[in-house]
Amino acid sequence: MKALILVDLQVDFCTLGALAVAGGDETIEVANKLMDQFDLVVATQDWHPADHKSFAANHYWRYPGQVIELNGLSQMLWTIHCVNDSYGAEFHHDLKVEKITKIFQKGTDKEIDSYSGFFDNGHRKSTGMGDYLKEQGVTELHIMGLATDYCVKFTALDAIDLGFSVKLIVEGCRGVNLEEGDAAKALTTMKEKGVELVEDYTVYF
């Protein structure tokens, strides 16, 4: 059985959002068109407490884009985004949310960030998404969303490690590109790990 994972299609990653990803809005239409083609649709949601330590504003003399060490892990500092229950953390308002069967929230512990929808960045705790998908009999995962070089990438890499067959719907993804070429590099990394890149999403129809 195949499932679609929609990664972080939230207001803050779209146009005018706190951590806007260029072209982020364009992914919503792709998601809405694809959902009907799947037996199961799940979504991840970046869901931080306001005092989350991935926010530059929560450290003295730090600014977004700097890297610090946080509880033994290297941590990129971000602008405040996707604070739980805030407007920016909501799914994009054009997204057909009624097609989503289950939502997995991540980044809820202020001491550790979570890019992957499966585990936090230290692989210390699971969100339960892997077990849920396996219980549903899912073997094949199709992934799209925001952002290519962070949450999409780490979700896809973990999915491979968990033994799923993984396809990435490239047209449904956009990258942060803090450094030029980050999104392209992320695609290469995923491909090398065994993720199949689907360049033309009309193959689903």
- Residues annotated as part of the active site: 8, 106, 151
Q: Which of residues 136-195 bind ligand VGL (CB under 6 A)?
A: 146-147, 150-151
Q: Is 141 within 8 Å of 6 (Cβ atoms)?
A: no
Q: For residue 142, what are its two tokens?
A: 């199709």
Task: Report how far apart the first and last C-alpha atoms of the chain are (Å, whole number).
Answer: 17
Q: Interface with Zn ion by CB under 5 A: which range of 37-45, 107-115, 138-146, 156-164?
A: 107-115
> 130 touches which of Zn ion, ligand VGL, none (CB within 5 to 8 A by kind)?
none
Amino acid (1-letter code) at residue 20: A
Task: Give me the 8-37 binding string for ligand VGL, x by CB under 6 A, dash otherwise.
Answer: x----x------------------------
Closest CA to 102 of 190, 54, 153, 42: 42
State the burial class of residue 42 (Cβ atoms within 10 Å of its Cβ: 0-12, 13-18, 19+): buried
Q: What distance in Å separates the CA atoms of residue 185 and residue 156, rounded to the nearest whole number?
A: 14
Question: Minimum Å distance from CB 16 to Zn ion?
Answer: 17
Where helices occur in the chain by DSSP H, the ranges are 26-34, 129-135, 153-161, 182-193
Q: Is 46 a residue that touches Zn ion (CB under 5 A)?
A: yes
Nearer to Zn ion, 46 or 149 (CB): 46
Q: Is 46 a residue that touches ligand VGL (CB under 6 A)?
A: yes
Nearer to ligand VGL, 8 or 158 (CB): 8
**Total interface residues for ligand VGL by CB under 6 A:** 8
- Binds ligand VGL (CB under 6 A): choice among 38, 47, 55, 78: 78
Question: Minimum Å distance from CB 78 to ligand VGL?
Answer: 5
Nearer to ligand VGL, 10 or 141 (CB): 10
Cα–Cα distances (Å) from 67 to 63, 150, 198, in that order, read 9, 14, 32
Q: What is the dihedral of CA 132, 197, 181, 148, to 10 degrees?
A: -20
Nearer to ligand VGL, 65 or 163 (CB): 65
| Interface residues toward ligand VGL, by CB under 6 A | 8, 13, 46, 78, 146-147, 150-151
| Interface residues toward Zn ion, by CB under 5 A | 46, 107
